[in-house]
Amino acid sequence: MTLKFNNKLMADSTIHWHGFKIPANMDGGPDFPVAPNTSMNYTFTMDQPAASMWFHPHPDMQTGKQVYMGLAGVFLLNDSITAELEQRGKLPSGDRDITLLVQDRRFGANNHGIRPLQYMNMDMDMDGMLGDIVLVNGSQSPKHEVGTAKYRLRLYNVSNAKNYDFAFSDRRQFTVVGTDGGLLAKPTKVNHIFLGAAERVEIIADFSKDKIGSKVALISKAFKDDVMNMGNMGSNDNNMPNDTMNQDSTNQDAMPMQGRIANGREVNIMRFDVVKEIEDATSIYTSLPQKAEIHNRLSANNADNLGNERQFNMTMNMNGRGGMMTFVINGKMFDPKRVDEYVSANSTEIWNITNNSPMAHPFHAHAIQWQILSRNGVPASGTDLGWKDTFLVRANESVKIIGKFEPVNTGDYMYHCHILEHEDAGMMGYFRVGTSGNLN
């Protein structure tokens, strides 16, 4: 596959292919910038399970702004297993397979019918860009007409920094069938699903028992989240609690700011209107075929670095760029000329991600899909058993992951927090797979 990227911006840009297993020179990191008024051909072959993937720019210190201004897109990868499930009525398809990109934004005052998009007020956005309006596929509070049937909803959190606890307004159950890197081996039923920035899930929403005329809202329900009182940073006044995410209680501590809704506030996202009766014979699969890659759980005992797990420690740094508060990994701020970790080609490794900062961070490593082994020593279960390229690590939490670096993975790749303002401020590093790369 070859795609030509023409950069018509006034700044460097790239296309980073999120979760794709591709060579480093095609990954779209900041070490391969595309200058203004130039172009680049991205050429690669996709050899991985069907998944709800996406792409966005990744230039150094400009990722957050470029994504916020609209540069992000969906890439749906299909395979023979997905096609077979759809043909057999084990997954909804066609117009009952719906992609939903959820992102928050902030707009200025109405000026003759125009409200300008606003980005980054440093006094209030140092912990990540949060807006007060949630958009779905670019529309505010949209509605979608459905029939009495099952629908496959591909939920993307493509916000810069916002977390969502997706649920339906009547708290009905739904079925999670997929995560970042593809379908789950066995679907799992829940009544809410928590996603940090860049995480995705595929869910089955069942409207078959709803009456014509029913209206059901998709919301982000209230939850206890991190509190970062930026006006009092550096004091010991409990503005940054250790217990950062109790999903059963509302965040009462967050300070309201104009144009900004803090993580944890309940938000209406969109509405589904049941308008017609549909004969639906869909019966969701109970287990993927044995040939599905997800059945091959990676074993910690087979890791090449067993007993010497790679450690990544996320902490807060009060001496960041320009003397501002920022966050770092392993005590280092990003250096575009430095490789931080060296990984053997074709190896299987365990990485242990620990968050010793006062807020949750979504951790992302390029060009590999991971399996979660445990959270705080508790073995993975439910949706954590899926393929993941991004996963939320809460304050005072350690997440142990395992991944295989495929033969196609060669060169210099990035790991970073996917709160885009954090990575732009230096919460990021390079790892090299194999013996060659683009950096010194």
- How far is Cα 244 from Cα 85, in angstroms, rounded to an integer? 40
Q: Are residues 96 and 71 in the same domain?
A: no
Q: Which pLDDT does position 113 carry in this prediction?
A: 86
Tracing tokens 């140092």 back to the chain, one arrives at: 126
Q: Say if CB 356 and CB 388 are below 8 A apart.
A: no
Which tokens sit at 40? Answer: 């680049």
Q: 203, 195, 253, 245: which is closest to 229 by C-alpha? A: 253
Q: Which pLDDT does position 319 carry in this prediction?
A: 67
Residue 341 belongs to domain with CATH number: 2.60.40.420
Q: Are residues 236 and 256 in the same domain?
A: yes
Q: Which pLDDT does position 93 carry in this prediction?
A: 97
Q: Is residue 286 part of a domain?
A: no
Q: Which pLDDT does position 325 carry in this prediction?
A: 75
Q: Are residues 358 and 270 in the same domain?
A: no
Q: Is residue 440 part of a domain?
A: no
Q: Which pLDDT does position 400 carry in this prediction?
A: 98
Q: What angle do CA 166, 168, 170 make, to 5 degrees?
A: 145
- Phi then psi for residue 433, to 5 deg, are -105, 120
Q: Are residues 306 and 426 in the same domain?
A: yes
Give the domain-ending residue among 276, 309, 333.
276
Q: Are residues 103 and 42 in the same domain?
A: no
Q: Are residues 186 and 261 in the same domain?
A: yes
Q: Are residues 72 and 89 in the same domain?
A: no
Q: How many domains does the chain have?
A: 3
Q: Is residue 59 part of a domain?
A: yes
Q: Is residue 283 part of a domain?
A: no
Q: Which pLDDT does position 127 carry in this prediction?
A: 81
Which letter does DSSP use for residue 321 in this model?
G
Q: Which pLDDT does position 339 carry in this prediction?
A: 97
The H or E element that residue 218 is part of is: strand 215-220
Q: Is residue 245 part of a domain?
A: yes
- How far is Cα 243 from Cα 412, in angstroms, rounded to an integer? 36
Give the SS3 label for residue 74: strand
The H or E element that residue 82 is part of is: helix 80-87
CB neighbours of residue 341 within 10 Å:
17
Who contacts 16 (Cβ-Cβ below 8 Å, separation ≥6)?
Answer: 27, 28, 29, 55, 56, 57, 58, 366
Q: Which pLDDT does position 125 carry in this prediction?
A: 82
Q: Which pLDDT does position 440 carry in this prediction?
A: 75
In 62-208, DSSP assigns E strands to: 73-77, 97-107, 117-118, 133-136, 139-140, 143-147, 150-157, 164-168, 174-179, 182-190, 193-195, 200-206
Give the domain-ending residue among 216, 246, 276.
276
Q: Which pLDDT does position 126 carry in this prediction?
A: 74
- How far is Cα 431 from Cα 437, in angstroms, rounded to an integer? 10
Q: Is residue 143 part of a domain?
A: yes
- Its pTM stands at 0.92
In 249-289, DSSP assigns E strands to: 267-276
Q: Which pLDDT does position 242 carry in this prediction?
A: 33
Q: Say if CB 99 and CB 76 are below 8 A apart.
A: yes
Q: Are residues 136 and 256 in the same domain?
A: yes
Q: Which domain holds residue 179?
A: 85-276
Q: Are residues 98 and 59 in the same domain?
A: no
Q: Are residues 97 and 209 in the same domain?
A: yes
Q: Say if CB 197 and CB 162 are below 8 A apart.
A: yes
Q: Is residue 351 part of a domain?
A: yes
Along the 440 residues of the chain, how does pLDDT read in single tens digits?
Answer: 999 999 999 999 999 999 999 999 999 999 999 999 999 999 999 999 999 999 999 999 999 999 999 999 999 999 999 999 999 999 999 999 999 999 999 998 888 889 999 998 766 787 899 999 999 999 999 999 999 999 999 999 999 999 999 999 999 999 999 999 999 999 999 999 999 999 999 999 999 999 999 999 999 999 987 655 443 333 333 333 333 333 344 444 444 567 888 888 999 999 999 999 999 999 999 999 999 999 989 999 999 999 999 999 999 987 655 566 789 999 999 999 999 999 999 999 999 999 999 999 999 999 999 999 999 999 999 999 999 999 999 999 999 999 999 999 999 999 999 999 999 999 999 999 999 998 87
CB neighbours of residue 186 within 10 Å:
14
Tracing tokens 């994504």 back to the chain, one arrives at: 67
Q: Say if CB 7 and CB 35 are below 8 A apart.
A: yes
Which letter does DSSP use for residue 254 in this model?
P
Q: Are residues 46 and 118 in the same domain?
A: no
Give the SS3 label for residue 429: strand
Give the domain-ending residue among 17, 46, 76.
76
Q: Are residues 122 and 211 in the same domain?
A: yes
